[in-house]
Amino acid sequence: MSRFLIVLLACGLMAGIQSCYYDKEQLLYANSSAGCTDSTGTVSYTQKVVPIFTNLCYNCHAGNTPSGNIQMGTYASDKAIALNGKLWGSIDHASGYVPMPEGTSKMTDCQLAVIRKWINSGMLNN
């Protein structure tokens, strides 16, 4: 009987440790550019950058009355705020910039890596 209990306890312990391990791994990758495949290779503006902006930015910054007079939503306007440094400053929460996206948490490291790569590779319209 006691041997049975020990085996049961040991199994429970192992299962606990394993699930902890997997939880941590998921947390780690959810907010890390490690394991971020979206930023590998050439980053496409239309396929990778625009979907992020659509989810997090265009609600407020695209259209005729953009918040803070920061126009986004077209290639030319998105490139303009990348060129003047405001795009990266705001999403990286750098000092001297209003942190974006407003009213919600910072982008994930993976999303940031995608935008950073697009900027550093010359903001192609690809």
**Number of residues that this document lists for the chain:** 126
The minimum distance between CB 105 and ligand HEC, in angstroms, equals: 11
Name the token pair of 54: 């659509």
Provide the binding-site residues for ligand HEC, judged by CB under 6 A: 56-57, 59-61, 67-68, 70, 81, 86-87, 90-91, 97-98, 100-103
Cα 31 to Cα 12, 100, 119, distances in angstroms: 29, 17, 20
Is the Cα torsion angle 91, 97, 100, 103 positive or negative in sign?
positive
Compute the distance between CA of residue 68 and CA of residue 110 in angstroms, rounded to an integer.
Answer: 26
Question: Based on CB atoms, which residue is closest to ligand HEC, 19 or 46?
Answer: 46
How deeply is 125 buried, as exposed, middle or buried, from its count of CB atoms within 10 A (0-12, 13-18, 19+)? exposed
- Of 102 and 109, which has the nearer Cβ to ligand HEC? 102
- Please identify, using beta-carbon distances, which residue of 16 and 85 lies nearer to ligand HEC: 85
Residue number closest to ligand HEC, CB atom: 68
Is 25 or 54 the residue whose CB approaches ligand HEC more closely? 54
Q: Please report how close the Cβ of residue 35 comes to ligand HEC at its closest, in angstroms.
A: 22
